[in-house]
Chain A
């Protein structure tokens, strides 16, 4: 099957984004993945589902990004021999996703080199797969030994530093194992999955309406991104079109979320480079913005403000004015702070060349989102596949090729200024009208996909509809899946004390991938 034809062969899914879906055999799946890769495209996500009750088989789903849009492929997987082609040879980012499919559903990639468990620790045995329909969410097991085999580095003077899961700061839990010589890092190996709390299984006990709240809690710092992607997926499956005003307000929320995270990160990046002044300044700004959100929309992080069909909160003229003043404040303060960061020799010394990811390595490993754009990977759905209202705002994508901490810092500054510009336009052009549309019914078996450019990168939500507007299967995808493995490369040859700075410059989600 030829990639060029996919938009004509496969049906386009209803909804806001250019997404096509088709069912293929194993050979075509591999071949299409190969063609997407050769054409400069990339893997977004990979997940499985249990169709044994109605269809007598399992399924593997793969979503890919090409310049034409998103291509979602479904492969029927035999119940008695649940295997699928190993895609990690094409897309290294598939490694952990495939291992999760094995843990959660018991489907195996054929001949994959790395078949270690990923999401499963010691809580449930290896012959149990929680996302199988026969598995009851409330089953309990007696934990066994974890026995995870880390890759060990040997050689003269090599020793290991093991960190976590409980870290020394207010951050999410995960385990990092450094192999070092002196202070120089030879290798970092990550072990995640500590926050696995059964999100995907829980979705399967919910209706399409109920799922919205859980979607907004997959990764708290991206609550708007996930809520919007979830709403898109439901709206696609139910053939619902939200009113224009709701779509504009959603984009406003998404850009406010981007501002919050970028501003907070810039503060911490200053702090990690020993400029406490930067933390104090940026976090005053962040608190100002949070309070504005709380006053105008009733939640500091805008949780649950986007619901399937529309949004819950309106914006009046005094609110418009308040946001407009806040934008002036942010632009003014951030401008001053950018000059200070740029001219501070100590800060620049820590930022420049640290945690370097070359553009070709970024392309090979699939580095995505903000971190990808800092290493020459020019993907931003707001600019390339603009839905309402981005199609009317001419989003300017920021990209850099230096790939170091400094580049990821500069990206954040530039995206703050761009978000300020976008929000200004939104305030000027916000259409009048309703805040939500009534949801239609979804047919069983329908697939709905949501796809939003969150502050970290692309957020995708895949919804497989069950009976009576219930969720049969839901897979949320966080860009951290792609970027965590690249962090292992970014730290190589750097010194251990630079790890917090490098880690912060990526600021990846644990909860978003542990699920």
Chain B
């Protein structure tokens, strides 16, 4: 136990200042309303859905939970069920095998809801594109509010995308 406390003290506080929202990432009509805006700052609940990624984008989403980005400290929470979520964070081109699951997850998320598509694949299908097996970009399957390009986008860019979505209509 002593060693744990010592290590915690030696590590210090690693959390950095969050990035600013980026207007360039705004996309389409955003469904956000005052009710969610009121939530922001206390807790934004995000449900991540991997709809067919290479798993690269997930690696960077994981990093949002590390002490440098400390996303929970900003009042943003990853939740286990779409029914608890204000926002879906969707990665990958949508594989046709995930099309129904993604639609159902979207339908299970209570209104008003936000969708942020992550990565080049989520934005435009990326290198996988559209085919017999891939629906391509997320917007081909469910409405998308904000897209975050990159392969994979860095944690800072993903966080920027999330903040851009919640700060719309501000």
By a beta-carbon cutoff of 8 Å, the part of chain A in contact with chain B is 121-124, 130, 135, 137-141, 143, 165-166, 168-173, 193-199, 201-202, 213-214, 217-221, 223, 264, 277, 279-281, 283-284, 286-287, 290, 294, 300-301, 303, 336-337, 339-340, 343, 509-511, 514
Residues in B whose Cβ lies below 8 Å from that of A264: 59, 62
| Chain A residue nearest to B12 in the complex (CB) | A284
Cβ contacts under 8 Å, A294 to chain B: 154
On whether the beta carbons of A168 and B97 are closer than 8 Å, the reply is no
Complex contact A303–B56 (CB within 8 A): yes
Q: Which residues of B contact A198 (CB under 8 A)?
A: 128, 131-134
Closest Cβ of chain A to B100, distance in Å, is 8
Contact mask B99-134 → A, CB, 8 Å, 1/0?
111000100000000000000000000111111111
> Is A281 in contact with B66, judged by CB distance below 8 angstroms?
no
Chain A residue numbers with a CB within 8 Å of B128 are 197-199, 202, 217
Question: Is there an interface contact between B152 and A220, defined as CB atoms closer than 8 Å?
Answer: yes
Binds A, one of B23-31, B33-41, B47-55, B159-167: B47-55
Shortest CB-to-CB span from B91 to chain A, Å, is 9
The answer to whether A130 and B132 touch across the interface, beta carbons within 8 angstroms, is yes
Asked whether, in the complex, the Cβ of B58 is within 8 Å of the Cβ of A172, the reply is yes
CB-based contact B3/A336 at 8 Å: yes
Q: Is B74 interfacial (CB-CB < 8 Å)? A: no
* Further pairs besides A198-B132, A202-B131, A287-B67: 11, Cβ < 8 Å: A124-B132, A137-B131, A169-B80, A170-B78, A194-B98, A195-B53, A199-B128, A220-B57, A284-B11, A287-B63, A301-B56
**A280 proximity list for chain B (CB < 8 A):** 11, 66-67
Task: Out of A196, A283, A339, name the residue touching B97 (CB < 8 Å).
Answer: A196
- Nearest residue (CB) in A for B104 is A166
Bound CA–CA A221/B58 (angstroms) = 9
- B residues within 8 A CB of A141? 132
On whether the beta carbons of B130 and A138 are closer than 8 Å, the reply is: yes
A interface footprint on B2-15 (CB within 8 Å = 1, 0 otherwise): 01100110010010
Provide the bound-state CA to CA distance between A165 and B82, in Å.
13
A220-B56, A339-B3 known; A202+B62 contact, CB < 8 A: no
**In the complex, which residues of chain A have a beta carbon less than 8 angstroms from the beta carbon of B51?**
173
Give the residues in chain A near B99, CB-CB below 8 Å.
Answer: 143
Which residue of A is nearest B99, CB measured? Answer: A143
CA distance A217 to B92 in the complex (A): 11
Q: B147: CB under 8 A from chain A?
A: no
Given contacts A143-B96, A197-B52, A287-B63, contact A138 B127 (CB under 8 A): no
Cα–Cα, bound, A173→B91 (Å): 11
9 interchain pairs (CB within 8 A)? A169-B48, A170-B58, A194-B52, A217-B128, A217-B151, A221-B56, A280-B66, A283-B63, A511-B53
Shortest Cβ gap from B97 to chain A (Å): 5
CA distance A155 to B45 in the complex (A): 40
CA distance A514 to B134 in the complex (A): 12
CB–CB A217/B127 < 8 A: yes
Q: Could you say which of A170, A223, A284 contacts B68, with CB atoms under 8 Å apart?
A: A284
Minimum CB–CB distance from A487 to chain B (whole Å) comes to: 17
Task: Give, as a whole number of angstroms, the nearest-CB distance from A217 to chain B.
Answer: 4
> Nearest Cβ in chain B — how far from A300, in angstroms?
7
Q: Are B14 and A219 neighbours in the complex by a CB distance under 8 Å? A: no
In the bound complex, CA of A423 to CA of B50 (Å)? 34
CB neighbours of A219 from chain B (8 A): 54-55
**Distance from B127 Cβ to chain A, minimum over Cβ atoms (Å):** 6
Contact with A196, one of B4, B65, B130, B133 (Cβ below 8 angstroms): B133
Contact A287 B66 (CB under 8 A): yes
A217 to B54, CA, bound (A): 6
